[in-house]
Amino acid sequence: MSTKTVITESQSLSQHPERTQEGDPLIRIRGVKKAFGDNQVLRGFDLDLYPNENVVIVGKSGSGKSVLIKCLVRLVDVDEGQVVVLGKSIPSLDQEELDQIRADVGFLFQGSALYDSMTVRENLQFPLRRHSQRMRGQDEDQLIQEALENVGLAHAIDLMPAELSGGMKRRIALARTLILQPKVILYDEPTSGLDPITANEIIQLILTIQRTFQTAALIITHDMDCARVISNRMVILQDGINYAEGTYTELSASKDPKVKAFFKEVQNR
């Protein structure tokens, strides 16, 4: 993937992504367990993520969604189970190998996590300089410019985070993720705290990134409209396991009360 391609308004954003499970999985999770004291959050979770697909994970607050994706880049260590990302067993990696995997796996945090004391340019410079060996031979200014063009914010390059709206911060955080040309992107509540119009813009941008750069993504969200538009597959994390899995259409037609509960609000609109 290269950030050279610039996203344009003309690219279709409304069509639901086609379901695809081709090739070996980029992420394979098997029997993952994680507890914090007496609180058993994950109780044997299984999941595969295939190339060029968006998988949405939904679950109640406190169900372990954020814990799960943090386990993928070892921000949290699993207690038991297999976590294989891009062919590497995450629990067994040394720090250098882990840093290399983290460069290939972009992470969009819920609160954007920009450095308030840095300009937009400096926020995007930070990962480039941290992974300077990986980006050797590439023009830093060009990479920054292209990343900002891809999220429609080239004009914001010298602004401070305090000068950005919530939606702009989310876009800058996404540009910072894209700049390392990841193979997989993890999104933690990408539309939280945004008004409906801005949330829709972020949803459409995520879809366009998938189509333009052929990325795969795991997306955690409470926003069922986001899940409906963005997902190739959905997973319901319930009772610490992959309780149900399928397309939005398949799951929304389920008769299981635990599954139906997630669609109740949407159906009542």
Q: Averaged over 200-224, what is the pLDDT?
A: 89
The answer to whether 1 touches 181, Cβ cutoff 8 Å, is yes
Task: Judge residue 55's burial from the number of C-beta atoms within 10 Å of its C-beta, 0-12 exposed, 13-18 middle, 19 or more buried.
Answer: buried
Domains of the chain (ranges; CATH) run 27-267 (3.40.50.300)
For residue 254, how many other CB atoms are within 10 A of its CB? 15
Cα–Cα dist 242/148, whole Å = 36
Radius of gyration, CA atoms only, the chain: 18
Q: What are phi and psi of 35, to 5 degrees?
A: -125, 150
**Mean pLDDT (whole number) for 153-157:** 91
- Residue 246 tokens read as 């399928």
What per-residue confidence (pLDDT) applies to 269?
A: 45
Closest of 68, 82, 84, 76 to residue 31, by C-alpha: 82
Q: What confidence category does residue 5 fall into, taking pLDDT thresholds of 50, 70 and 90? A: very low
- CA nearest 47: which of 85, 103, 99, 90? 85
Read off the pLDDT of residues 183-208 as tens digits, 9 standing for 90 and up.
999 999 888 888 888 888 889 888 98
* Whether pLDDT at 39 is above 50: yes
Mean pLDDT score, 80-99: 93
Return the minimum-mean-pLDDT range out of 101-105, 236-240, 243-247: 101-105
Over range 81-108, report the average pLDDT. 91
Q: Is the pLDDT of residue 83 over 80?
A: yes
Q: What is the pLDDT of residue 240?
A: 94
Report, as an integer, the average pLDDT of 36-46: 94
